[in-house]
């Protein structure tokens, strides 16, 4: 029983501590692989569409080609997005330039007489450098969340090449519009050593990894849980939200998931549908 003061009120020295209520936030909207719900992911066309809708940020995955170029591709193979069995890591950029990375998204468009004519320059492989140039030249601040994919045959070379490129843009200092994400704790440690001022996002997709991660992530690191994990494990969602780290959630595509993120005070939602999310937020 809670102790009582002489006035009959609960004694503050014995009162049980109450949890700080989570606030309803207005998160940053980050386009997942561009506006990829309607456009082929990781193409220049998808990113330009996201910018046109007013997205606050862009998210991309990067892999290293055989000749050392960072390209925006999610899968290690090209089967799904370029209809070939090649591996990104064994092909040169010139070889990737010959491939169509967009037709898979709308395979019947050539049979639609009313479909707009496609611009081939927006459908090919996109280098990270080109994407960063677009962001740097844009007429408002746009942030970029870059995920390095692991495991890879190149190991830590991916992070070294990434940091070198960020230095070319002057984006390794505090306030730069970039952050690096990974499911690999080791990969983020590499970036921290090479560019200690670049924000880092520890991606999380398995609830059983959280007890370990919460003890090892840096004090200023961000957390990037998947929306499915938060939805299925509400107690874990609350613990992550109250961890003291800013939280960025992927991949948030429905109103219900957006409202869950807002109730948890999430700072950024990574979405295939940036226009829809912005509309739901009244922006």
Q: Grade residue 114 by pLDDT with cuts at 50, 70 and 90.
A: low
Which ranges constitute the DSSP H helices of the chain? 44-53, 79-82, 93-97, 128-137, 157-168, 185-194, 210-216, 227-232, 234-241, 255-263, 274-280
Q: Could you report the per-residue pLDDT of 150-183, keeping only the tens digit for each?
A: 999 999 999 999 999 999 999 999 999 999 999 9
Q: Could you report the per-residue pLDDT of 10-28, keeping only the tens digit for each?
A: 444 443 333 444 557 799 9
Which residues are CB-neighbours of 68 under 8 A, at least 6 positions away? 161
Longest dimension (CA), the chain: 84
Burial per residue of 189-208, b for 16 or more beta-carbon CB atoms within 10 angstroms, e otherwise: bbbbebbeebbbbbbbeebe
What letter would DSSP give residue 110?
Answer: G
The rounded distance, in Å, linking the Cα atoms of 243 and 268 is 16
Q: Could you report the per-residue pLDDT of 127-157, keeping only the tens digit for each?
A: 999 999 999 999 999 999 999 999 999 999 9
pLDDT of residue 222 exceeding 50 = yes
User: Cα–Cα–Cα angle for 210, 216, 222, nearest 5°?
Assistant: 70
- Active-site residue set: 32, 74
pLDDT of residue 123 exceeding 50 = yes
Q: Could you report the per-residue pLDDT of 257-267, keeping only the tens digit for each?
A: 999 999 999 99
Query: Would you report the helix, strand and coil content of the chain in percent, each value rounded to 5?
Result: 35, 15, 45
Q: Where are the domains of the chain?
A: 28-76+127-280
* Strand-pair category, 268-271 with 178-182: unpaired
Secondary structure of residue 230 in the 3-state scheme: helix
- C-beta separation of 263 from 242 below 8 A: no
CATH topology of domain 28-76+127-280: TIM Barrel (3.20.20)
Tell me which of 1-5, 114-118, 134-138, 204-208 is least confident.
Answer: 1-5
Burial of 111 (0-12, 13-18, 19+ CB in 10 A): exposed
The rounded distance, in Å, linking the Cα atoms of 266 and 283 is 17
The rounded distance, in Å, linking the Cα atoms of 92 and 97 is 9
């Amino acid at each position: 029983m809670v102790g009582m003061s002489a006035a009959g009120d609960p004694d503050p020295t014995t009162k049980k501590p109450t949890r700080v209520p989570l606030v309803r936030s207005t998160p940053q909207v980050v386009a997942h692989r561009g506006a990829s719900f309607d456009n082929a992911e990781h193409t220049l066309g998808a990113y330009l569409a996201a910018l046109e809708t007013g997205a606050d940020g862009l998210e991309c995955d990067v892999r290293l080609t055989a000749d050392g170029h960072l390209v925006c591709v999610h899968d290690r193979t090209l089967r799904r997005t370029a209809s070939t069995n090649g591996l990104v890591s064994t092909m040169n950029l010139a070889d990737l330039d010959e491939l169509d990375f967009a037709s898979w998204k709308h395979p019947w468009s050539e049979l639609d007489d009313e479909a707009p004519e496609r611009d081939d320059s927006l459908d090919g492989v996109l280098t990270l450098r080109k994407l960063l140039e677009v962001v740097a030249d844009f007429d408002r601040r746009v942030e970029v969340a870059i995920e390095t994919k692991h495991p890879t045959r190149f190991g830590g070379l991916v992070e070294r090449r990434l940091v070198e490129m960020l230095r070319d843009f002057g984006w390794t200092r505090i306030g730069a519009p970039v952050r690096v994400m990974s499911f690999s704790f080791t990969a983020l440690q590499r970036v921290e050593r090479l560019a200690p001022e670049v924000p880092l996002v520890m991606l999380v997709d398995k609830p059983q990894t959280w007890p370990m991660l919460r003890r090892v992530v840096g004090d200023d690191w961000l957390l990037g849980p998947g929306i499915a994990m938060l939805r299925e494990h509400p107690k874990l969602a609350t613990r992550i939200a109250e961890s003291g780290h800013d939280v960025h959630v992927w991949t948030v595509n429905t109103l219900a998931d957006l409202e869950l993120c807002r109730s948890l005070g999430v700072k950024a939602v990574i979405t295939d549908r940036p226009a829809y999310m912005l509309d739901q937020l009244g922006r």
